[in-house]
Each structure stands twice: as C-alpha cells, then as structure tokens.
Amino acid sequence: MSASASAVREPSVHPAHAGFWSTYVFSTDHKTIGKQYLALGALWAVVGGLLAFVMRWQLAWPDTAVPGWGEIGPETYNLVVTMHGTVMVFFVAMPILLGALGNFLIPLMIGARDMIFPRLNMLSFWTFALASLVLLASFFVPGGAASAGWTGYPPLSARPEYTGVEWGLNLWLVAQALEFAAFLMGGVNYLTTVLTLRAPGMTLLRLPLLVWQQLTAATLFLLSVGPLIAGAFMLLLDRLLGTGFFLPDRGGDPLLWQHLFWFFGHPEVYVILLPALGAVMEILPVFSRKPIFGYRWIIGATMVAGGLSFIVWAHHMFVSGMDPRLAMPFSITTILISVPFAFLVFAMMATLWRGSIRFEPPMVWALGFLAMFVMGGLTGIFNGSAPADIYISDTYFVVAHFHYALFSSLGFGGFAAIYFWFPKMFGRMLDPALGHLHFWLTLVGFNVTFFPLHNIGLAGMMRRIANPLQYEFLAPHQWLNELATVGAMILLGGQALFVLNVVRSLRAGPRAPANPWQAATLEWTAPSPPPHLNWGPAVPVVSEGPYEYSRPDAAEDWLPQAASPAARARGEGGPWR
C-alpha cells in the first residue's frame, strides 16, 4: 500500500491497453488534460470574440442591426457585456493560461512523469467542463443568460425583476461555483506537485520562472476565492430564499458584495497575468540567448506583488459610496504595487539588453506583451489614484486600461506561449510567416480598437451603455467608437490566420524535433510530443539553472538544465534558423 522510497508512481492504466475513452477523454495524463483545457478555452474564446463583435458593432452603429444577430436592445446589450466579461475571464483566460499551460508544462519542467494527483486532475477538468455546460445552458433558458455585469453587483443581480433574468443568473452563479471548484482542485495539484515531485537536482531555485509564476497564481487564487464563494451563496439566497444580505430594504448592504467580489477580483487579475508573465520570462532568455536578469529578485518581486494584491481591492470601489477614509490607504497600496511590477518589466528589458535577439514568432509575441503590458500598467496608475479615479471610473478609460493589461496577458502572452510550446505539445512546427502576419494584424487591430477608448473615456463615455448616440455630449466623439470597431474587425478577423496555421500544421506541418528552439529547460529533453510518462526509463537529472545561455565554457553556447550526455543527445534540436 505504501510507496517505497525508490518507487516511481506508475499510471493507473497501462498505455498499451488504454482504450479511446481513457486515452483521449477520461485521461489522467497531464498533457492530455492540458490540451483539453486548451481546446475548451479556445471554443469559449470564439464565443467571447463573437460577443465582442456584437458589442463593438452596436457601439459604432447603434441604430443598425448587428450582422448575424439583429437589432440589439439595452437588455440584450447588458447580456452581451456580462457574458463577454464572464467568458473571457473565467472560461478563456483561466483555462488557457492556468489550466492548459500549467497542466502541460509543470510536470515536464520539474522532471516529473505526471502530477501528484492525476485523478484529481482529471476531475478538475471535468468539473470545468460541467461548469461550461451550465454556463452554455444559461443562454438558452427563459429570460436568457446573466445580464448584471460580469461583476454581478446587487441589487441589480439580487432581484430577478430588475434584469428580467431568472434562471440565467442562478445558473451563472452555479457555473462560477463549479469553475472555482475546478481551479481549486487544479491549484492544490500544482502546489503539491512542485513541492514533492521535482527531479533530482531540481532545487526550488533552479525552477523555471514559469513554474514559480504558476505557483504564485495558484496560491493567489486559493486564498482569494473563498470570500467570493461566500458572497455567491449569499447572492443565491437573496435571489431564491428572500434573504437580504445585499438588499437595503431587507436590512442588507450591496456594498458587502462589492467588497467580497473585489477581495477576490483583484488577486484574480494577477492570477491571469502571472502565468502569461511566466511564459514570457521563459521565451525572452531563449530568443536573446541570455539568462533572465535577476532571477531571485523576480521571484521576490512576484511574491511581494502577490501579497500586496490582497490589500488593494477597494481601488475598484472608489466611487461606490464606501467610507471615503478607505480611499487613501487603498490608493497608497495600489501605487505601491506598481513597484514590484515595474521591477519585473525592467528585469525583462534588462534580459533583452545586449542580447542576441532572434525574432521568431514566440519572441515577437513576447515583445508585444511587454509593450502592451507597460501601457496597461501606466494607465493603471491613473486609475489607482482615488482623486483621478473619481473622474475616470466607470468610463471607457478603465475599459482601455484593463484590456491593455488583460489582452496583453491572454492575447500576446497566451499566443507567445502557444507558438513557443506548440511543437512540444503537438509534434509539429507552426508556419512562422503566418505567425508573424497574425502578430501584426493582432497588434494593429488591438491598438486601433483599444487606444481610442482612452480618449473617449476621458471625454466621458460611460461603460455599459448600449447606445452612445443617446447622449448629445458624446456625439462629437462617436467617430472614436467607429474607429475602435474597425480595429475590432481587424483584430477578430486576424485570428483566422492563427486557426489556419494550426489546422495546416496539425495536418501536414513539419515534424518538430525535441528542441527546435535550443532551449535549456527540461521539457525540451522529452520528445515532441512527449509519450505517456514523459521520458523513457530515466528521468532527467538536473545540474544547471534554467537559463544557462551564452555560456563561454559550453561546447555550444548554452547548457541545458539536464546536462548528462544522454539528455544532451536527446536535446539536440533541429537546425537553428
């Protein structure tokens, strides 16, 4: 029953006897589960993108019918706005950045054959799949899907008669609860796996930064989601049982929801950001042929930022009517948190400095992340300062800010990761020309969409309004809305290139060698794609740090983490282009 000291955990199903269902559907293999998260997240990305299309069309030309949908009234617009946010944050960003990257990469990067709790891992994905089903169902129930904003503020969300949405919002809450459960299970798995299953020689300070970032993200999620689950129960009871947690006429206070929501909501945005940062921090050294700058300081700064993220939340509430005495402390902590993030940006820039830059698609996307994230971070400073925020809160300035921060993570960081690890995941190379074109269309489309929103936000355009033309003062600025929508068409349309690239590569792309990028971390010593249990009889033994590039004493210019001759032989990648 108990494992001996030298036993290696064996899979519950022998690969030769595994049928279709246990190999591809109910798999406990972390790589398959990672791909399942990726696929489901990608499907939801299509939904989220379509919802964005509807929003942008409506805002640019409010009195016309949206192609493929029809005329949009305010209630429908509320639904679209709500579900776009919910889908993108919880059903696209988290599954792709945390679920897919974390599951696929963590065991490979630490030299483990799988996660420590493979069946819990499988359960986590299927719980997420169930959450997806519930959320999808919410579109089709009478009254439609939730329409009280992705933040679900009461009293709008607490009284069904205010939105006209009955079951849609109840299902929304259930779907969220299931999603939280799925990622809690995943987080427990990641944290326990990294602490107990590292290969010989893989000390904590030799871990690739992506692993550190995934762990920090998992911890942030684990510690922040509880109060929101509490709030979700309260909201459900208000809706179903006539309680009054958030309803003033029943003795409650809507502000409590906001506190509980944002106590989670702020760490949540770092839960999304950190995995993307981790991916970029893997990519920059490889394509600069330079070690990452300030490895330990990066870990420290990330932890400081993570800790601070728990005491900044009320910067989302400056205009909520909360006690004004809270404004200054939360402004201060918010400005403070920009310090560790600024350090991370400087560390990434210092990594590039005097590097031998190779502009492969993963690198180009990673550089795009850096540039766009800096812009998002800069506008964050305005938002975080209470006096300024009183003017710009609930305007499109905030929308611009968080799209620069979130899209840089999910879009630029996410695509950087996908282009980088696609060969490892699927054993095929993506076409680099299409990859570059995809990048430029995304960069241009993204900026044309979201930069004007800063301007129109400062001009006073409010969030969540279905028809800007109803407001006379916005009429002179409507051209900005139209410009943004043109940008959105470019942005959304450009993604077709990615789909094309993936489909072509999966069918007939060049086969990927084990290490096409000449990267040093352990996943590149396994075949592309890795077999079940990741390596043959011998797990890598680690003797180096993760970023030993430009080593003058190495035969080539770099040292892989696993420096034994057998591993080096496996690691000889294809020719460097």
Partner 1 sequence: MAMRAGAHGVAGATAGLEAGKLGIWWFLASEIMLFGGLIASYVVFRLGGEGWAAEAAHLNTTIGIVNTLILLSSSLTVVQAFAAAERGETRATTVFLGLTVLGGLLFLGLKAVEYAGELGHGFTPASGLFWSFYYLMTGLHALHVLTGVVINLILLAGRRWRTPHRVELGGLYWHFVDVVWVFLFPLLYLA
Partner 2 sequence: MAVTRPHPRYLVVWAWLLALMAAGLAASAAPRARGLAVAVIFGTAVAKALLIGLNFMHLRFEGPLIVAIATVPVLFAVVLTAALFPDFVFGP
Toward partner 1, which CB reaches closer, 172 or 245?
A: 245
Residues 111-150 that bind partner 1 (CB under 8 A): 111-112, 116-117, 120
Residues 197-226 that bind partner 2 (CB under 8 A): 223, 226
Which contiguous run of DSSP H or E holds residue 270? helix 254-288
User: By CB under 8 A, is residue 253 in contact with partner 2?
Assistant: yes
Q: Map residues 303-322 to x or -, x wherever contact with partner 1 holds by CB under 8 A.
A: --------------------
Cα–Cα dist 148/157, whole Å = 5
User: By CB under 8 A, is residue 319 in contact with partner 2?
Assistant: no
Residue 158 in contact with residue 235, Cβ under 8 Å? yes
Residue 202: C-alpha distances to residues 109, 560, 574 (Å): 10, 13, 26
Residue 62 in contact with residue 467, Cβ under 8 Å? yes
Cα–Cα dist 485/439, whole Å = 19
> Of 3, 16, 508, 555, which one interacts with partner 1 (CB under 8 A)?
3
User: By CB under 8 A, is residue 188 in contact with partner 2?
Assistant: no
Cα–Cα dist 368/364, whole Å = 6
Residue 166 partner contact from partner 2, partner 1, none using kind-dependent CB cut-offs of 5 to 8 Å: none
SS3 406: helix
Structure tokens at 303: 């932890």
SS3 70: strand
Cα–Cα dist 86/52, whole Å = 12
* Phi, psi (degrees; rounded to nearest 5) at 135: -65, -40
The distance from CA 399 to its chain's CA centroid, rounded to whole angstroms, is 17
Residue 508 partner contact from partner 1, partner 2, none using kind-dependent CB cut-offs of 5 to 8 Å: none
User: By CB under 8 A, is residue 26 in contact with partner 2?
Assistant: no
Toward partner 1, which CB reaches closer, 38 or 131?
A: 131
C-alpha torsion angle, residues 421, 423, 426, 431 (rounded to 10):
110
Beta strands in 423-572 (DSSP E): none
User: By CB under 8 A, is residue 199 in contact with partner 1?
Assistant: yes
User: By CB under 8 A, is residue 22 in contact with partner 1?
Assistant: no
Cα–Cα dist 451/484, whole Å = 8
> Of 69, 139, 310, 426, which one interacts with partner 2 (CB under 8 A)?
310
Residue 274 partner contact from partner 2, partner 1, none using kind-dependent CB cut-offs of 5 to 8 Å: none
> Of 197, 207, 370, 533, which one interacts with partner 1 (CB under 8 A)?
197
In one-letter notation, the amino acid at residue 280 is: V
Residue 78: C-alpha distances to residues 84, 91, 117, 465, 538 (Å): 10, 19, 41, 8, 56
Residue 294 partner contact from partner 1, partner 2, none using kind-dependent CB cut-offs of 5 to 8 Å: none
Toward partner 2, which CB reaches closer, 239 or 259?
A: 259
User: By CB under 8 A, is residue 259 in contact with partner 2?
Assistant: yes
Cα–Cα dist 542/560, whole Å = 9
Residue 482 partner contact from partner 2, partner 1, none using kind-dependent CB cut-offs of 5 to 8 Å: none
> Of 130, 136, 247, 256, which one interacts with partner 2 (CB under 8 A)?
256
> Of 57, 77, 172, 245, which one interacts with partner 1 (CB under 8 A)?
245
In one-letter notation, the amino acid at residue 356 is: S
> Of 12, 196, 356, 470, which one interacts with partner 1 (CB under 8 A)?
196
Residues near partner 1 (CB under 8 A), total: 55
Residue 157 in contact with residue 89, Cβ under 8 Å? no
List, as one string, the DSSP characters of 434-469. Answer: HHHHHHHHHHHHHHHHHHHHHHHHHTTPBTT-S-GG
Toward partner 2, which CB reaches closer, 247 or 465?
A: 247
Close Cβ partners of 87 (under 8 Å, ≥ 6 residues apart) = 44, 47, 48, 51, 135
Residue 198 in contact with residue 186, Cβ under 8 Å? no
Q: How far is the CB of 118 from partner 1 (least distance, A)?
A: 11
Q: Map residues 210-229 to x or -, x wherever contact with partner 1 holds by CB under 8 A.
A: ------------xxxxxxxx
User: By CB under 8 A, is residue 2 in contact with partner 2?
Assistant: yes
Toward partner 1, which CB reaches closer, 225 or 491?
A: 225
User: By CB under 8 A, is residue 315 in contact with partner 2?
Assistant: no
Point out which residues bind partner 1 (CB under 8 A). Answer: 1-3, 5-9, 111-112, 116-117, 120, 184, 187-189, 191-192, 195-204, 222-231, 233-234, 237, 241-245, 250-253, 256, 260, 263, 539
Residues of this chain that interact with partner 2 (CB under 8 A) are: 2, 195, 223, 226-227, 253, 255-256, 259, 263, 310-311, 314, 322-323, 325-326
